[in-house]
């Protein structure tokens, strides 16, 4: 959707919200935007931002700044009304209509920022978009009074992370530092070594690949109890699950990467009288790096999921999977969501680190052009 097509709704929505209720007082009296300065300021700034760009084209930075400021002022309205003790939800259609207009203005600002060529624009746009999603979550849950057992607000999740930091840290150590990292390193390294051997011994690859497809089709809930029986309740059984889940993706991607060197490159190495290992180190492994990083990124996600799910089938009284399963039964959903947040941030950090390493090591590769 272009900025011009969004212009009319972004003007009409705040105008329509002027005559619609913004909430209900404790005495069940309907309030409107002009009765409170904060929602009125948000409404008027959204209106001004939408009309200003329609009357006269503005420099992109000015346009984006005005739009972002209007969106921020409008976003403050629901929390101010809740602090005043007003009931929102279905009693505040004007508020939600005004926020819909603010969303269009915010969308326009993101479009302007992402179209620029300044450094760091991708991170800024992604960060603003993430903040917008958190706002929708917070305002929706608090505005419609969603029960905490169904979906706690982000502020409630963050509030529980401080008092429960020692518990969350112990779970992080048990699941990530002991099970995930060790299983991830063992599984990826074993898959890489076996792939190199299978590349040297072709019949080994023909035998392993069908077996890899068979193992990949086995659900984790079938593997995890077996590993617990074999390796006990502590972290080795979870690391074993991670090894099984990460071994074959690395094996298959490494074999595909080793086969990626074209015939002309191989003929050039033969003309230099290069043997198998020299060709492997100087040509085939560098060409296989994009495939290896693909496997590492896929395995980073699989390892975390595998270890957490495996903890559902037996673990000491610590670990992310154990915490989720026990706190759900106690209806402590705040701690469950805090654990999920720690797992999500951990997975994102590992994935981001691998992406940065990939960009640094494969900048010369043709597949990196245009990134």
What pLDDT band is residue 14 in, cutting at 50, 70 and 90? Answer: confident
Check pLDDT > 50 for residue 5. no
pLDDT for position 371: 58
Q: How many CB atoms lie within 10 A of CB 41?
A: 17
| Residue 199 neighbours by CB under 8 Å, 6+ apart | 205, 255, 258, 280
Higher pLDDT among residues 186 and 46, named by residue: 186
Q: Which of 128, 124, 127 is nearest to 116 (CA)?
A: 124
What pLDDT band is residue 3 in, cutting at 50, 70 and 90? Answer: very low
* Chain-centre distance for alpha carbon 202: 39
Report the alpha-carbon distance of residue 329 to residue 318 in Å, rounded: 16
- Rounded to an integer, the average pLDDT of 169-183 is 92
| Angle 54-57-62 from CA coordinates, rounded to 5° | 105
SS3 label, residue 24: strand
Helix (H) or strand (E) holding 31: strand 30-31
Q: Which of 56, 95, 88 is nearest to 74 (CA)?
A: 95
Report the alpha-carbon distance of residue 103 to residue 75 in Å, rounded: 9
Question: Per residue in 211-257, pLDDT tens?
Answer: 777 777 777 788 888 888 899 888 899 999 999 999 989 998 999 89
- Rounded to an integer, the average pLDDT of 293-309 is 92
SS3 label, residue 30: strand
Q: Give the DSSP letter of residue 87.
A: B
- Rounded to an integer, the average pLDDT of 20-41 is 84
Higher pLDDT among residues 4 and 361, named by residue: 361
Distances (CA, A) of 193 to 181, 187, 189, 200, 248: 18, 10, 6, 11, 12
In the block, tokens 């990460």 appear at 246
| Residue 257 neighbours by CB under 8 Å, 6+ apart | 284, 285, 287, 288, 289, 290, 291, 292
Report the alpha-carbon distance of residue 86 to residue 36 in Å, rounded: 11
What pLDDT band is residue 2 in, cutting at 50, 70 and 90? Answer: very low
pLDDT for position 217: 76
């Amino acid at each position: 959707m272009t900025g011009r097509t969004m212009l009319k709704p972004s003007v009409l929505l705040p105008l329509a919200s002027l005559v619609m209720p913004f909430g209900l007082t404790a005495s069940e009296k309907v309030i409107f935007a002009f009765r409170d300065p904060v929602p009125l300021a948000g409404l008027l700034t959204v209106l001004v931002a939408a009309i200003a760009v329609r009357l006269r084209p503005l420099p992109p930075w000015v346009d984006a700044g005005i739009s972002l400021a209007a969106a921020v002022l409008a976003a403050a309205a629901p929390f101010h009304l809740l602090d005043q003790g007003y009931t929102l939800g279905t009693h505040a259609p004007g508020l939600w209509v005004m926020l819909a207009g603010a969303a269009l203005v915010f969308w326009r600002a993101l479009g302007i920022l992402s179209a620029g060529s300044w450094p760091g624009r991708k991170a800024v746009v992604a960060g603003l978009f993430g903040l917008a999603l958190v706002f929708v979550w917070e305002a929706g849950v608090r505005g419609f009074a969603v029960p905490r057992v169904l979906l706690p607000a982000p502020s409630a999740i963050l509030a529980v992370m401080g008092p429960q930091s020692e518990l969350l840290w112990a779970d992080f150590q048990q699941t990530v530092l002991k099970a995930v990292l060790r299983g991830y390193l063992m599984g990826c390294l074993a898959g890489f070594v076996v792939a190199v051997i299978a590349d040297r011994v072709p019949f080994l690859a023909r035998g392993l690949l069908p077996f890899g497809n068979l193992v990949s089709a086995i659900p984790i809930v079938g593997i995890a109890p077996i590993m617990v029986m074999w390796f006990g309740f502590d972290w080795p059984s979870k690391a074993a699950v991670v090894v099984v889940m990460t071994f074959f993706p690395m094996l298959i991607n490494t074999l595909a990467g080793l086969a990626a060197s074209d015939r002309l490159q191989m003929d050039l190495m033969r003309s230099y009288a290069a043997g198998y290992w020299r060709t492997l180190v100087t040509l085939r492994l560098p060409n296989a790096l994009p495939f290896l990083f693909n496997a590492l990124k896929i395995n980073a996600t699989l390892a975390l999921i595998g270890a957490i799910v495996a903890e559902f089938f037996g673990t000491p009284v610590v670990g992310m999977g154990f915490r989720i399963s026990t706190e759900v039964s106690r209806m402590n959903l705040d701690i469950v969501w805090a654990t999920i947040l720690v797992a999500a941030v951990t997975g994102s950090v590992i994935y981001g680190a691998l992406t940065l390493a990939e960009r640094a090591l494969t900048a010369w590769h043709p597949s990196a052009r245009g990134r």
